[in-house]
Structure 1
Amino acid sequence: MPETDDLSLLIDAAQDAGKIAARYFHGFADRWDKPGGQGPVTEADLAVDQMLREELTAARPDYGWLSEETEDGAERLSAEHVFIVDPIDGTRSFIEGSTTWAHSLAIARNGRVEAAVVYLPLRDKLYAAALGKGATLNNQPLAVSTRAELDGATVLAAKPNLAPSRWINATVPPISRKFRSSLAYRLSLVGEGRFDAMMTLHPTWEWDVAAGSLIVEEAGGIVSDRARQPTHFNNPVPKLPGMVAGGAIIHDALLTRLA
């Protein structure tokens, strides 16, 4: 896949992030809980965030910055381009010693993601996408699942998404629910075609899904909120009202059945 300059920058930065995070893995990072029930954070999250911010903004000083681990500011809202970064997506998995955490890096231009990388260093999986150029895993092209039947489809989702109240007539379709802690990895797995769809029905931080959403779209899938509205990033409050992603038929079928 031809790489844009921005995509090459993200790939290099993600690989550097993997080297830093690996040094803290297997319990060597101090951890604490963020205020307001926002979940855990570790030394590794902050070390990766600092490196990424320094490296990326030095290369693109006119780009805005939005990261889970950096205090947000209004400056990014006036920038044409903005980095949207989750230094470690799946921090709980990182703490528990799982290898399903990822570095999630994206660049959005006027609200649309144009370059994206999701990197799982301990699994040697580097997903990448550039707008109009397709998506890859370790330089091999990706395509979403072409499944045509919702019944039996594999859907990556947290358990509360399958509560009967979420579905028309309180009837949950007979799908096979699977789970990964990292939303970026869930989206990437859908782009890879290993799972038919993913969904998260609660408000979702932009840094969790920006990179993965482009990987799904460039692999031929559809990404929207539950009201079928397309994604728009770099919002004043950097949250989206949930997300449903998958091949066109399964994406439509899920949205049709949701209450």
Structure 2
Amino acid sequence: MEQLIESRLDVLSLADSLDSSAENSDVSTAPTTECSSPLDLSFTLAKYSMTESMLPIIQDKLVAIAQTAGKMMVDADPSVDTSDTKKNSSDRVTETDKAVEDMVKSRLLSAYPRFAFLGEETLKDGQKLGDEPTFVCDPIDGTLNFIHGFPNTAVSLALTVEKKPIIGVVYNPFRGDLFTAIKNRGAYLTTANGSTKRLPLRPIPAPLASLNDCLVAIEWGSQRQGSNWDLRTSIAQTLMTSKSSGGAMVHSIRSNGSAALDFCYVAAGWLDVFWEGGVWIWDVCAGWIILEEAGGVVASANPGDWNPTLEGRLYFAVRGAKRAEQEGVVKELWGLMGDRRFVF
């Protein structure tokens, strides 16, 4: 653990010089969104008796806790792990979900008792994200994958201040992939062999001319009927259909079973876009800051909204590219929706 943290800090020490070179590049994010708007981070943190120098320390705490959570996940036996149904058979929670969140909450609030905590499994009725520093936790994002033994699942931890993510940690213990980001310091992927690389993995992202060039992520969710389901499946079909038949003819569609990892895969450049309506703040909070720090943008899944909120349940993540290309891909998919909208 100490070697991993030291290696990550060495990489972070290069962030300032890399950021300055990125400012002179023609690769940029798309229109400013609520969570990516210019922020005087030092001033904002000072209101809560925090400094920017605290952020790497908090991140290292989150990494250590995420790795403990990962060991709990790997050591668990999903075949005997008691699971409960939330809304239907595709919306499940296991005892490991609950145990991981209890551990995360206990360790974080012990270290930072003045911070708030918002977790998927311990959410109180009516609890909303506030302005105060808040840890946001999804103990196992991809619970169905976990139950089936499919190794695409992760623990997702984030810190928000004034409803904006400033630290994100997403860890898949089955692959050994650790995605991290701190506001204004870049996003990184540390792999199982201990190597750390800045995101996106391509220093100069490939052109993003249209949806026709895109590998698209869509998750199916647990709501399998009604207008939202009809919209989701209709757009998926249009994206896959040939242009001669009125479709977008994307390269293909992927459903990874984890919104947190979808965001990270877009940040890395493994996916081009992720269009999603219906997941929750804990599914996307950490991935959001990781994507933004990798030069990506988050718009709304519904047309016309460039300012989605963390709690809005409507997300359209686009990888790093030239600003005009990011805008173009977003508007192209919005155009396929016509006057249809997700409603939650």
Which bin holds the TM-score, normalised by the shorter protein?
Answer: 0.7 to 0.9
Q: Is the 8 A contact 2:181 2:293 kept in 1?
A: yes
Q: Residue in 2 aligned with 1:46?
A: 98
* Aligned with 1:241 (options 308, 314, 317): 314
- Evaluate the alpha carbon distance shift between residue 36 and residue 95 of structure 1 in structure 2; reply closer, same or farther with a 3 A threshold: closer
Q: Residue in 2 aligned with 1:221?
A: 296
Q: Residue in 1 aligned with 2:209?
A: 149
Q: Residue in 2 aligned with 1:131?
A: 183
Residue ranges of structure 1 left out of the alignment (5+ in a row): none
CA distance in 2, matches of 1:71, 1:158: 23
Q: Is the 8 A contact 1:64 1:79 kept in 2?
A: no
C-alpha distance after superposition, 1:28-80 (max 9, x if no partner): 31112014778101011001010000011111111111111113256765551
Higher strand share goes to which structure? 1
Q: Is the 8 A contact 1:154 1:196 kept in 2?
A: yes
CA distance in 2, matches of 1:142, 1:243: 19
- Indicate the RMSD between aligned Cα atoms, in angstroms: 2.4
C-alpha distance after superposition, 1:208-252 (max 9, x if no partner): 01111111111111112133423433xxxx442233332345532
- Evaluate the alpha carbon distance shift between residue 85 and residue 172 of structure 1 in structure 2; reply closer, same or farther with a 3 A threshold: farther
Which entry has the higher C-alpha Rg, 1 or 2? 2
* Aligned with 1:193 (options 269, 286, 310): 269
Q: Residue in 1 aligned with 2:8?
A: none
SS in 1 for 2:105: helix
CA distance in 2, matches of 1:148, 1:71: 39
Q: Residue in 2 aligned with 1:102?
A: 154
Once the two structures are TM-superposed, the CA of residue 5 in structure 1 deviates from its matched residue by 1.7
When normalised by structure 1's length, the TM-score is: 0.87
CA distance in 1, matches of 2:218, 2:198: 25
* Aligned with 1:207 (options 271, 282, 288): 282
- Evaluate the alpha carbon distance shift between residue 171 and residue 67 of structure 1 in structure 2; reply closer, same or farther with a 3 A threshold: farther
SS in 2 for 1:19: helix
**Which of 183-192 and 37-46 deviates more?**
37-46
CA distance in 2, matches of 1:74, 1:9: 28
CA distance in 1, matches of 2:172, 2:163: 26
Q: Residue in 2 aligned with 1:88?
A: 140
CA distance in 2, matches of 1:47, 1:163: 39
When normalised by structure 2's length, the TM-score is: 0.67
C-alpha distance after superposition, 1:186-229 (max 9, x if no partner): 111111111212111x2320000111111111111111213342
Q: Is the 8 A contact 1:63 1:83 kept in 2?
A: yes
Q: Is the 8 A contact 1:223 1:246 kept in 2?
A: no
CA distance in 1, matches of 2:86, 2:249: 37
Residue ranges of structure 2 left out of the alignment (5+ in a row): 1-11, 14-54, 191-195, 221-232, 240-244, 338-344
Q: Residue in 2 aligned with 1:162?
A: 236
